[in-house]
Structure 1
Amino acid sequence: MRSRILTGPLAGFACLLVLLGVLAATTGLDAAGWATSIACGAGLAALLARALARHRRDGLGPADRVTLARAVLACGVAALTVDSFGGRAPVAILVALSTVALVLDGVDGQVARRTGTASAFGARFDMEVDAFLILILSVYVAQTSGWWVLAIGAARYVFVTAGWALPWLRGSLPPRYWAKVVAAIQGIALTVAAAGILPDAVTTVVVLVALGLLAESFGRHIWGLWRLAGSPPGTRATVTSALAVLLVWAALLVPDHTGDLSPAAFLRIPLEGLVFVVLVAVLPSRLARILAVIGGLLVGVLMILRLLDRGFYFAFDRAFHPVYDAAYAGSALGLLGDSIGRVGALAVFIGAGVLCVALLALLPLSAVRVTRLVARHRRPTIRIVAVLAAISIVPALTGAGPEPVRRLASTSAARLATQVRDDLRDQREFVRALKQDPFRDTPGNDLLTGLRGKDVLVVFVESYGRTALDSPVVGSALQAGDRRLQQAGFSSRSGFLTSPTFGGISWLAHSTLQSGLWVNNQRRYDHLVTLDRLTLTDAFGRAGWRTVADVPSNDEDWSVAKTYYHYDKVYDRRNVGYAGPPFSYASMPDQYTLAALQRLELDKPNRAPVMAEVDLVSSHTPWAPLPRLVDWSRLGDGSVFDPMPAEGDSPEYVWRQPDRVKAAYAQSIAYSLDALTSFVQQLHDRNLVLVVLGDHQPASIVSGNGASHDVPVSIIAADPAVTDRVADWGWRDGLRPDAGAPVWPMDTFRDRFLTAYGR
């Protein structure tokens, strides 16, 4: 009988050796992979033989053989996973083995039922193989998605280990179909993550959802075992109360900056929490519960705002402003969709919505639980609060003690209230600034006399920030641009402006440059565009120029163009004759945008001089795919670009690795600069003047945390009299400002420009 018991395990081990031989021949399996897989196979054979003997089985049944095949495949996945530690990752083969193992997971159960060989041994064997495969896949995925993914693979083994210390965890409950579904979801989610077919953000959401379902399944199972064991109610209440306290504590301490998320951040003392505990300790029970519900909701809102802070620091290098930033939700969805796809963006938004609802439900319940805990243990609670208050307040007031102690206290909610107050005060200050305009009543004859007869293009290069100058790719493009301009008889001078925005929200920079006011939030912008503040466009129009906006990203009417900027003509993606493909956010390449402006405005005979604000958006996130420059005579209706999106990198590919994002960003800026300087060279218009600048720095993934808000700005002209007018600005010759070039707030440009080129 013993030989019959060993037949199945030994056959499985032999099959594993064959599989490893095939893998070695196809992928070059190294020694570590061989050793790991053989160790797993030997352990499998030994444990399987022992289990067969314990269950008094003389061999494997038909379904057990299918399960054994799955176990062999899992050992093969283990070999490939260990190989991946050295940088060798045959992803396709690993995913293929995992997929076959997952498919067979649905086969062994059917075989057992149809052959009448279902057994407790087979069910346990199937479950352990599932757990092993999930563990191996979680190790592989953790290398790219973060080591928190190991929680999925370790869950089963932590549960078993805990059962050694807590005997009631070793009890048994009736099988639950949902538990099998959740187990299958873990394998599928991890295999999809291993395949790398989704953007990183979507992959993270998928794995997080799987982890959440696993936690729910284990939680329900543990709860059932607890109730079955007749656990003392006091123990259950203690655990629930502890979880409630931890949730409220963590919610009060969620950091608002991407660099602060560490265990130390949650070891501070939230002063708001201490005040809450004191209040519920002294108030009557009914009032205390009402306060708990209200306080829990407020804490939930606070935690949501802190999470928004983290997102805003990542994208815009600043905190979230509750007074006016909610208006950016639609823009954020569109921007995220351009980067990771609309489905991925919707998944992120839906996940965020579910999280918000959960926080707003759980935190009031947790606060009520804390209230009950305080009511039952009033005296020790007051003592604990007094000690914590002394630890956090006394060193801060006296200056005594080391810096880490003085920084224990958190006043996050108070800072949020101050921020709201400051945001409201900011609007009043902006209204006062609006009343001051030295050029409001200047007649057209006195405006821009130094540019009479010139076509003036104010060109915003999307995301062209100071960070771009650190890239050799951009540096080469600037050098090539200088050579093109010199060959065409043009010269340039350059400096820096400090943008009011960072990482996006370009219209704030546009309105700041045009109005001469610091427009750094949506509330200011919304108020500004309802008024009649003199813009650069208005000044040119008053002085006799035809004013034009070229906004290729727009696909609907832009009312502000007429009501505030007063453009004579607006071009967008609908009316320039473009029939080519879009390039992610960019509806058309910058080269076509410039060519269309030339065809529709600059080449017209017997016309007034043109002032145009031109948006070059090929360098807009996600910076992929990118077009290539073509001969200007071949542009036509843009269909020449048709094959290019498929030839370039996709946003999903680029955004999986930060280094790829940075490289794609630099290439996009280089393309925009090449298109612009090539345009000037082929236009042959010596009466052309350009003001070229960035609207803002790229997001923190490129610029880094704490980067400046500076953007390059250049004035380009063929007429030396134009550049001589700004000789006293201290700007450097050429398109590239050096590190010592002047840096001015962007809102000062309008007045400096009108002064330099006026009478």
Structure 2
Amino acid sequence: MALRVGLGLVLLLVVFALPPRPGPIGDLRFPVEWFWIVGALTLVRGRGFGLLAALVLAFAASTTVLRLADWGTIAAFSRPFDPVVDRSILVAGWHLLSGTIGNGAAFAALGSAVVLFLCLVLILAYGLSGVRRLAGRTRAALGIATLAAGALATIALALMPADTLSVSAALSAYAGEKFAAARQSYAAQAAFAREVASDPLRDAPPERLLAALDGHDVLLVFVESYGRSAIENPLFAPRTLARLGAVEADLARVGVLARSGWLRSPVAGGQSWLAHGTMLSGLTIDNQTRYESLLQSDHESLNALFRGAGWRTVAVMPAITMPWPEAGWFRYDEILAAKDLDYRGRPFNWVTMPDQFTLLRIGEILQRTSQPVMLQTALISSHAPWTPIPTIVPWETIGDGHVFDAQATSGVAPEVLWRDPQRVRENYGLSIDYAIEAVGAFVDRFARDAVVIVVGDHQPAELVTGPDATRDVPLHILTADPRILDRLDGWGLVPGMVPGPAAPVLPMQDFRERFVRAMSGGDHAS
């Protein structure tokens, strides 16, 4: 019986001691809550024991799930898990996992995790239930000892400076923080309902909406996982800066000028559609609940504003492979999802097609459309798993995409690459290099007369950037019309393709209103 109880108490200790994120063993602290709970279990009798044991088991299981969920969202999105608004992460996470390692391996990994968790819960229940079978003297001695230790540890924590003891009350603080965060999330959703009902561009519309852009195609190009780290982290900066410099020089030779700066994305690591929604709505969309509320509102997207001003609005979305009913809110005149782009080559694992093929189709749209086009796209070659990495081919050889088949079957498999974090980072840098090269070549060939807004949607995951990366993403505005760039004076943008390291960072949700007002009215920026 002692072995059974010891197993339960040790497992309870392990569960309670789980840290906020994976780290060195030396960083672990003994949870003071363990003393109090074990003491209570040993002293409570009868039905009270059964109720208390059930509550302890439920608390241990729920905090374990939340801790592990935090590990996942911190690694993927650089933030803790929010059970109120993160329902969609389960679906998005499954699509990413299955697209990276395959359905079979994903099912095996998920099934193994569920079975392991259930086994741990059953073992914990078995061990804790054995406490009631201990001899009376043994229970009393264990209870008094643990309660005394708990009292001493609690007093010491109250009197001594933080982090001086190997004991902590972090579990209680964690539970309180999760409860407070849930309340804040509910309150934030109520506040968002008021935000989405207010629109300064509707309440105080600018004169001559978007008049400065008359006659120009306008392209909004999101580049997947293109974050500030790609430009400033020493792991990636040399290659990225060289590519940006080369693109700047190539475009300058054909009269295309650039201004660059920073935006602050609402997300990191994933959930690109939230960044898209933020940029296009002028509202902070940092969780799925806000996104769904936005889609049910009459708040006008940036696309809709262009449509109302006379542009034909088009979405080219190579990552969309399933029905996309929410697209109705954006008010596109035409939507080209993956199947509509007629790519016949092999996919690059999760990535349906290389960016160059997507950009070729965009070029063809611009060439065949007489009406000015406002086009939004989300390039995906720089999306995880970052293998294989495409390379640029002559535009005239692309055809239906079979020219990329050899590239699509090259390189290592994702499950091999992701065993080596250093190789993951190397491939990430290569994918950003390819995406920037492809965009530069596209503008040179198809969009010299357009206004091209190139922006990263978010930073990549912490595995790539490290734990202290900002949420900043690069912004590049390209045009051959210097009068358009003059209207952006005061934004803190710098000439060329490399944003200034000390340049101000504009929240992504501010772009919509500032850009529309700058491009509306008379001859001067507003």
Task: Report the TM-score when normalising by structure 1.
Answer: 0.65
1:473 paired residue among 214, 218, 239: 239
Q: Provide the rounded CA distance (Å) in 1 between the counterparts of 2:471 and 2:46.
A: 52
Q: Provide the rounded CA distance (Å) in 1 between the counterparts of 2:353 and 2:458.
A: 21
Give, as a single letter, the amino acid of the residue that structure 1 aligns with 2:20: D
What does residue range 204-603 of structure 1 map to in structure 2 within 5 Å? 237-259=1-23, 261-265=24-28, 267-271=29-33, 273-277=34-38, 279-280=40-41, 283-370=44-131, 372-373=133-134, 377=138, 379-398=140-159, 400-401=160-161, 403-405=163-165, 408-410=168-170, 411=172, 412-441=174-203, 446-469=208-231, 470=233, 471=236, 472-562=238-328, 564-599=329-364, 601-603=365-367
* Contact preservation (8 Å) 2:39, 2:147: no
For residues 727-758 of structure 1, the C-alpha deviation after alignment (integer angstroms, 9 at most, x for no partner) is 11111111111311211221121122122112
Secondary structure at the counterpart of residue 618 of structure 1: coil
Q: Provide the rounded CA distance (Å) in 2 between the counterparts of 1:468 and 1:656.
A: 22
Give, as a single letter, the amino acid of the residue that structure 2 aligns with 1:555: T
Secondary structure at the counterpart of residue 676 of structure 1: helix
Give, as a single letter, the amino acid of the residue that structure 1 aligns with 2:303: T
For residues 191-238 of structure 1, the C-alpha deviation after alignment (integer angstroms, 9 at most, x for no partner) is xxxxxxxxxxxxxxxxxxxxxxxxxxxxxxxxxxxxxxxxxxxxxx11
For residues 614-644 of structure 1, the C-alpha deviation after alignment (integer angstroms, 9 at most, x for no partner) is 1110111011112221111222111211222
1:665 aligns with 2:428: yes
1:638 aligned residue: 401
1:736 aligned residue: 498
Q: Provide the rounded CA distance (Å) in 2 between the counterparts of 1:264 and 1:730.
A: 42
Give, as a single letter, the amino acid of the residue that structure 2 aligns with 1:751: E
* Contact preservation (8 Å) 2:321, 2:339: yes
* Contact preservation (8 Å) 1:494, 1:715: yes
For residues 504-538 of structure 1, the C-alpha deviation after alignment (integer angstroms, 9 at most, x for no partner) is 11111111111111111112112221111121111
Q: Provide the rounded CA distance (Å) in 2 between the counterparts of 1:447 and 1:342.
A: 48
* Contact preservation (8 Å) 2:85, 2:289: yes
Q: Provide the rounded CA distance (Å) in 2 between the counterparts of 1:568 and 1:376.
A: 79
For residues 145-181 of structure 1, the C-alpha deviation after alignment (integer angstroms, 9 at most, x for no partner) is xxxxxxxxxxxxxxxxxxxxxxxxxxxxxxxxxxxxx
Measured after TM superposition, the shift of residue 420 of structure 1 is 2.3
Q: Provide the rounded CA distance (Å) in 2 between the counterparts of 1:510 and 1:516.
A: 10
Q: Provide the rounded CA distance (Å) in 2 between the counterparts of 1:373 and 1:749.
A: 66
> Larger radius of gyration, structure 1 or 2?
1
What does residue range 111-122 of structure 1 map to in structure 2 within 5 Å? none
1:78 aligned residue: none
1:681 aligned residue: 444
* Contact preservation (8 Å) 2:43, 2:140: no
2:454 paired residue among 692, 695, 698: 692
Secondary structure at the counterpart of residue 400 of structure 2: coil
For residues 87-134 of structure 1, the C-alpha deviation after alignment (integer angstroms, 9 at most, x for no partner) is xxxxxxxxxxxxxxxxxxxxxxxxxxxxxxxxxxxxxxxxxxxxxxxx
Q: Using CA pairs below 8 Å that are at least 6 residues apart, which structure has the higher relative contact order?
A: 2
Secondary structure at the counterpart of residue 514 of structure 1: helix
Measured after TM superposition, the shift of residue 374 of structure 1 is 9.6
Q: Provide the rounded CA distance (Å) in 2 between the counterparts of 1:462 and 1:523.
A: 22
> How many residues are matched?
515
* Contact preservation (8 Å) 2:316, 2:375: yes
Secondary structure at the counterpart of residue 744 of structure 1: strand
Could you say if the C-alpha distance between residues 385 and 727 of structure 1 is closer, same or farther in structure 2, counting changes exceeding 3 Å?
Answer: same
Give, as a single letter, the amino acid of the residue that structure 2 aligns with 1:700: E
* Contact preservation (8 Å) 1:392, 1:405: no
Could you say if the C-alpha distance between residues 402 and 434 of structure 1 is closer, same or farther in structure 2, counting changes exceeding 3 Å?
Answer: closer
Measured after TM superposition, the shift of residue 602 of structure 1 is 0.6
Could you say if the C-alpha distance between residues 444 and 549 of structure 1 is closer, same or farther in structure 2, counting changes exceeding 3 Å?
Answer: farther
* Contact preservation (8 Å) 1:626, 1:648: yes
For residues 664-707 of structure 1, the C-alpha deviation after alignment (integer angstroms, 9 at most, x for no partner) is 11111111111111011112642x00111111111111111121
Could you say if the C-alpha distance between residues 758 and 365 of structure 1 is closer, same or farther in structure 2, counting changes exceeding 3 Å?
Answer: farther
Q: Provide the rounded CA distance (Å) in 2 between the counterparts of 1:448 and 1:370.
A: 73
* Contact preservation (8 Å) 1:444, 1:544: no
Q: Provide the rounded CA distance (Å) in 2 between the counterparts of 1:588 and 1:722.
A: 33
Measured after TM superposition, the shift of residue 712 of structure 1 is 0.7
Give, as a single letter, the amino acid of the residue that structure 2 aligns with 1:725: R
* Contact preservation (8 Å) 1:586, 1:617: yes
2:387 aligned residue: 624
Q: Provide the rounded CA distance (Å) in 2 between the counterparts of 1:257 and 1:742.
A: 31
Measured after TM superposition, the shift of residue 407 of structure 1 is 6.0
Measured after TM superposition, the shift of residue 726 of structure 1 is 0.6
Measured after TM superposition, the shift of residue 372 of structure 1 is 5.0
Q: Provide the rounded CA distance (Å) in 1 between the counterparts of 2:230 and 2:416.
A: 21
Measured after TM superposition, the shift of residue 428 of structure 1 is 2.0
Measured after TM superposition, the shift of residue 571 of structure 1 is 0.5
Gaps of 5+ in 1: 1-236
1:653 paired residue among 396, 413, 416: 416
1:725 aligns with 2:490: no
Could you say if the C-alpha distance between residues 738 and 297 of structure 1 is closer, same or farther in structure 2, counting changes exceeding 3 Å?
Answer: same
2:524 aligned residue: none
Q: Provide the rounded CA distance (Å) in 2 between the counterparts of 1:684 and 1:433.
A: 36
Secondary structure at the counterpart of residue 263 of structure 2: strand
Q: Provide the rounded CA distance (Å) in 1 between the counterparts of 2:500 and 2:158.
A: 46
* Contact preservation (8 Å) 1:294, 1:364: no
Measured after TM superposition, the shift of residue 427 of structure 1 is 1.6
| Structure holding more helix per residue | 1
Q: Provide the rounded CA distance (Å) in 2 between the counterparts of 1:520 and 1:684.
A: 32
Task: Report the TM-score when normalising by structure 2.
Answer: 0.92
For residues 326-359 of structure 1, the C-alpha deviation after alignment (integer angstroms, 9 at most, x for no partner) is 3222221221233333332222111111122223
Could you say if the C-alpha distance between residues 403 and 391 of structure 1 is closer, same or farther in structure 2, counting changes exceeding 3 Å?
Answer: farther
* Contact preservation (8 Å) 1:395, 1:401: no
Could you say if the C-alpha distance between residues 281 and 431 of structure 1 is closer, same or farther in structure 2, counting changes exceeding 3 Å?
Answer: farther
- Among all aligned residue pairs of Structure 1 and Structure 2, give the percentage whose two residues are the same amino acid: 36
Could you say if the C-alpha distance between residues 437 and 270 of structure 1 is closer, same or farther in structure 2, counting changes exceeding 3 Å?
Answer: farther
Give, as a single letter, the amino acid of the residue that structure 1 aligns with 2:492: G
Could you say if the C-alpha distance between residues 377 and 328 of structure 1 is closer, same or farther in structure 2, counting changes exceeding 3 Å?
Answer: same
Q: Provide the rounded CA distance (Å) in 2 between the counterparts of 1:528 and 1:279.
A: 48
2:511 aligned residue: 749
Q: Provide the rounded CA distance (Å) in 1 between the counterparts of 2:483 and 2:393.
A: 33
Q: Provide the rounded CA distance (Å) in 2 between the counterparts of 1:715 and 1:374.
A: 76
Measured after TM superposition, the shift of residue 401 of structure 1 is 4.7
